[in-house]
Structure 1
Amino acid sequence: MLSVLVFLPVVVAAALLAPSVPDRVARIVFVATAAVEVALAGAVWAAYDDPGPGALALEEQVPWIPGVGSSYHVGVDGLSLPLVLMTTVVFLACAVFAAREQERPRLQAALFLFLEAVSLGLFVSADLILFFVFFDLSIVAMYFSISGWGHGNAARSALRFFLYTFLGSLALLLGFVGLYVASSPHTFDMLELAAEPPLQGTGATGALVLGAILLGLAVKTPTFPFHTWLPPAHSDAPAIGSAVLAAVLLKMGTYGFVRFGMTMLPDAWRAWAPVLVAVGIVSVVWGALVALAQTDLKRMIAYTSVNHMGYVVLAVGAAGLVSSGADDARAVAVTGAVTQMVSHGLLTAALFLLAGVMFDRRADYGLGEYGGLAGPAPRYTALFAVAAFGSLGLPGLSGFVAEFQVFAGSIATAPVAAVATVGILLTAALFLRAFQRVFTGPTAGLAHGFPDVTAREWAPVAGLLLLSVLIGVLPRPLLDLIEPAAVAAAALVSR
């Protein structure tokens, strides 16, 4: 079932490359395939049964490169399945949003279906080489998305994105090779490496290997100070490109922290934990401060991603601070980190799609160019308000559930994490300031005659926000999925 989920979009994308496929058909096929992927992901969830610590459900494994101990090995657990579900939902929202795309819609549909496939493949990978292949293919696909359908300095921003993240992936590969060399017998299998960590007790060697892995993942996440590629990439990317970049591709970095950083190098993770806590706090506060200073809506949203990914880094860092009686708190921190990945994916994808509506109407993201937009565009205003309040952590939305767990778990193990709560205040200030400038008061500037959102625009955004509300009000189904795997991951770190 997982292989069908991963490779169906590739097959459809290949078919869409045929020049004889009409643009209208390509748009319909894009939406239909994305909807089928959501249904397949739902079927995976329905068939999922917690496999227990150190195991995966719906596992598939066949030899691939046996000479180096690498196989096509896929499976899901409570850490990966939530991200699989979120990924399919985000791509469906993007497919519906792009249903009126006029610029090479056939090629765009094929590219994004390919990107969906490699994203899903990464989250279900149980082999480091397989993970790396999907990791690099996602970089290539996003490069073409930004350069092919972006605006402004799209070519330059796409190249910057590619160079930064590709160099980060080389550091990641170096770390994977270090794990392979140290393992006996040599293997790239994630389950085997987590069951018997090959660099346990090696001191500096393990710390260096983990340092290479952390560097590669930190660039992709991105955390401070490796975030400089992110704002220009978002500013010049198309709306659906920004939505996927923020919602899905950034999670490849944070997912890697939990999937193999914590579990395969536990003693090195404990050594790096204070650094990760510090980086998380700085990312939270720095991202919010810089976002507060922006006058461009899309750059502001981009910097909030640095802030929100900082919460994840803070939580997984705190989970590495092993102390007596803190096991429950560390598990809560990991649960909060995974919940934050899902929440950020839904809310930030919605915000970037709404920013895309603004650009489609007026080709301008300037906060100072609009005023009183609530008058001509009440539906657009309502959607933006819900997305903004969710992003700043208002109770009743997924952001609150995630951030509450992050801080509850992190502060219990690392009291200094309380400093990061300043980020919540700053995030509230920046979103309220932006909302006040753009939507309230008398209608002014580019807000005059601003057409309200159409069904094609509001439906995908409303769907993402509805899921955020459901998680905020009824978080138990999601937490029931995540918590057993989070407890297992926290236990592996303390070995």
Structure 2
Amino acid sequence: MNMLSLIVFLPLVVAAVVAAVPAIRPAAARWIWVIVSAVELILIGIVWAGYENPGPNRLAFDEQIPWIPGVNSSYHIGVDGLSLPLLAMTAVVFLAAAIYALTNSQRARAHSALFLFLEGVSLGVFISADLIVFFVFFDLSIVGMYFVIAGWGHGNAARSALRFFLYTFLGSLALLLGFIGLYVFSDPHTFDILELVAAAPLKGNPVAGGLVLAAIVVGLAVKTPTVPFHTWLPPAHTDAPATGSAVLAGVLLKMGTYGFVRIAMPILPDAWRSWAWVIIIVGIISVLYGAFVALAQTNLKRMIAYTSVNHMGYIVLALGAVGLVIDDSAQARSVAVTGAVVQMVSHGLITAALFLLAGVMQSRAGTYDMGSYGGLAAPAPRYAALFAIASFASLGLPGLSGFIAEFQIFAGSIAVAPITAIALLGILITAALFLRALQRVFTGPTHGHSTGFSDLNGRELWSIGPLLALSLLIGVVPQTFLYVIEPASAALVTLVGR
């Protein structure tokens, strides 16, 4: 079996066993999730160690098996510099969630099985090289997250889960319509992503290309989410369990932006260039809207949710700028793509940590209301320190991964479209909202729910600490990370400029 197939199907098989065997005790089920997630991270580490740049429009660890021959769809998988970092980030976030959930006592066997299923299908999205395989894993992730929110959430969890499912499932139908459009216009008809990239089937057909791109972009924008498709996100995060929010923000949102770089941009280069300014404007609006609305929140978890709209807006902005093909701009556009991929990984690590930290508040005091706390740094110094590091990473402080991502996004975008500098305001607002949250919750005399608030225990430290340590590592030694991404970014810029 190909190593990538093992990485995808190991958690799926274990999930089926955990779900089907009632004799597995709750404690054993929780540890099974931790062990499998750790093995997944080791396997991906082996893949990373053996990875060599496969070249333009090629994949490393490539495997292709006929699946639905009537429509020329195959089980085709592989990785390159755009997908391998996201594969590693997914394994890290799921391992952190597994460690965090070690004390979960609510239907632990079903909980562990569901998250193992979600881990397998999430990894499947990032290795897919066939549109139908991509769509199957993409859709199954929606089903898995629906049950996580509905089954283990709090507040209006059932309503938020249904809203999440309806929005994202409708988006996936638009995505499927776009995939069918690519199949119809390809000659020979195929769903294979590499073949479609090579053929660029709608090149020279601006009307059909624009319609197919619109369907794909809408489907991916709902999952990202960008304004105005973001309204499902804040309630879903607010009512989801901490582990659910960490996985939703850290992993599932990246499926949308990954779809842009893997499918929309290289297969539909003409249409992407034609609609580049629209995509840039949507990105700028998402950046500013997400930051301003986050600034107005008093609920910590809703505030973090809106910063996700802001941070994903940076990615959309950068990818839109790649479509502005101007003479001698290839290097700048390549930097923008690299920044976008680093932002996907950085946001995954940092926001997963922030949501797990918010979950500590819920478990200790039962509320996310920032006004209910004060002076929390005195009884919980470790909690305050990690929250401060996560906040500074999120606002892009130098030395942390957020700075590496945002610096490259703006260096590349402003070089080809100076007006994108408007989005720099989003960084300023993000800094203001996190500093205000730190001041309200952690400084001053201890009062409210801060009184008697117990500090982070070992399990919580081992869950959240490594996420922030990786953000620090990327911020201090970025070249160990960028050498994988940069060749793939340059290849994507070449494909978009054809």
Short-chain TM bin: over 0.9
Cα deviation, residue 47, structure 1: 1.2
Report the identity percentage.
Answer: 69
Partner of 1:282: 285
Partner of 1:382: 385
> For residues 192-238 of structure 1, what are the alpha-carbon distances to aligned partners after superposition, in whole Å with 9 as ceiling and x for unaligned?
00011000010111001000000000000000111000000000000
| Structure 1 runs not aligned, ≥5 long | none
Residues in 2 aligned to 1:26 and 1:219: alpha-carbon distance in whole angstroms? 33
3-state SS of 2:63 partner: strand
Residues in 1 aligned to 2:466 and 2:108: alpha-carbon distance in whole angstroms? 23
Partner of 2:98: 95
Q: Which of 8, 11, 16 lines up with 2:10 in the alignment?
A: 8
Partner of 1:368: 371
> For residues 241-278 of structure 1, what are the alpha-carbon distances to aligned partners after superposition, in whole Å with 9 as ceiling and x for unaligned?
00000000000000001111110000000011000100
Residues in 2 aligned to 1:125 and 1:230: alpha-carbon distance in whole angstroms? 25
Amino acid at match of 2:43: L
3-state SS of 2:103 partner: coil
Residues in 2 aligned to 1:27 and 1:245: alpha-carbon distance in whole angstroms? 20
Partner of 2:464: 461
Residues in 1 aligned to 2:272 and 2:481: alpha-carbon distance in whole angstroms? 27
Residues in 1 aligned to 2:79 and 2:44: alpha-carbon distance in whole angstroms? 11
* 1:74 matches 2:86: no
Q: Which of 132, 135, 140 lines up with 1:137 in the alignment?
A: 140
3-state SS of 2:56 partner: coil
Q: What RMSD over aligned residues (CA atoms) do the two structures have, in Å?
A: 0.4
Cα deviation, residue 477, structure 1: 1.3
* 1:253 matches 2:256: yes
Q: Which of 328, 331, 335 lines up with 1:328 in the alignment?
A: 331
Residues in 2 aligned to 1:426 and 1:128: alpha-carbon distance in whole angstroms? 38
> For residues 43-84 of structure 1, what are the alpha-carbon distances to aligned partners after superposition, in whole Å with 9 as ceiling and x for unaligned?
110111110001000001100001001000000000000000
Partner of 1:46: 49
Partner of 2:236: 233
Q: Which of 113, 118, 143 lines up with 1:115 in the alignment?
A: 118
Residues in 1 aligned to 2:385 and 2:57: alpha-carbon distance in whole angstroms? 44
Partner of 2:190: 187
Cα deviation, residue 377, structure 1: 0.3
> For residues 413-444 of structure 1, what are the alpha-carbon distances to aligned partners after superposition, in whole Å with 9 as ceiling and x for unaligned?
11110000000000000000000000001001
Cα deviation, residue 20, structure 1: 1.0
3-state SS of 1:63 partner: strand
Partner of 1:295: 298
Amino acid at match of 1:453: L
Residues in 1 aligned to 2:12 and 2:289: alpha-carbon distance in whole angstroms? 39
Q: Which of 430, 434, 439 lines up with 1:431 in the alignment?
A: 434
* 1:408 matches 2:411: yes
Partner of 1:25: 28
Partner of 1:422: 425
Amino acid at match of 1:381: A
Residues in 1 aligned to 2:169 and 2:16: alpha-carbon distance in whole angstroms? 25
Amino acid at match of 1:439: F
Residues in 2 aligned to 1:338 and 1:452: alpha-carbon distance in whole angstroms? 34
Residues in 2 aligned to 1:107 and 1:205: alpha-carbon distance in whole angstroms? 45
> For residues 8-30 of structure 1, what are the alpha-carbon distances to aligned partners after superposition, in whole Å with 9 as ceiling and x for unaligned?
00111111111111011111111
3-state SS of 1:50 partner: coil
Residues in 2 aligned to 1:59 and 1:316: alpha-carbon distance in whole angstroms? 26
> For residues 275-314 of structure 1, what are the alpha-carbon distances to aligned partners after superposition, in whole Å with 9 as ceiling and x for unaligned?
0100000100100000000000000000000000000000
Runs of 4+ that moved beyond 2 A: none
| Structure 2 runs not aligned, ≥5 long | none
* Residues 445-456 of structure 1: pairs in structure 2 closer than 5 A: 445-456=448-459
Amino acid at match of 2:274: A
Cα deviation, residue 459, structure 1: 1.2
Q: Which of 208, 215, 229 lines up with 2:211 in the alignment?
A: 208
Amino acid at match of 2:339: G
Residues in 2 aligned to 1:385 and 1:459: alpha-carbon distance in whole angstroms? 17
Partner of 2:445: 442
Residues in 2 aligned to 1:476 and 1:309: alpha-carbon distance in whole angstroms? 23
Amino acid at match of 2:77: V
Residues in 1 aligned to 2:7 and 2:68: alpha-carbon distance in whole angstroms? 22
- Structure 1 length-normalised TM: 1.00
> For residues 367-404 of structure 1, what are the alpha-carbon distances to aligned partners after superposition, in whole Å with 9 as ceiling and x for unaligned?
10000000000000000000000000000000000000
3-state SS of 1:73 partner: strand
Amino acid at match of 1:181: V
3-state SS of 1:457 partner: helix
Amino acid at match of 1:249: L
Partner of 1:155: 158
Residues in 1 aligned to 2:257 and 2:159: alpha-carbon distance in whole angstroms? 26
Residues in 2 aligned to 1:201 and 1:330: alpha-carbon distance in whole angstroms? 23
3-state SS of 2:102 partner: coil
* 1:316 matches 2:335: no
3-state SS of 1:51 partner: coil
Residues in 1 aligned to 2:366 and 2:176: alpha-carbon distance in whole angstroms? 40
Amino acid at match of 1:132: F
3-state SS of 1:431 partner: helix
Cα deviation, residue 460, structure 1: 1.3
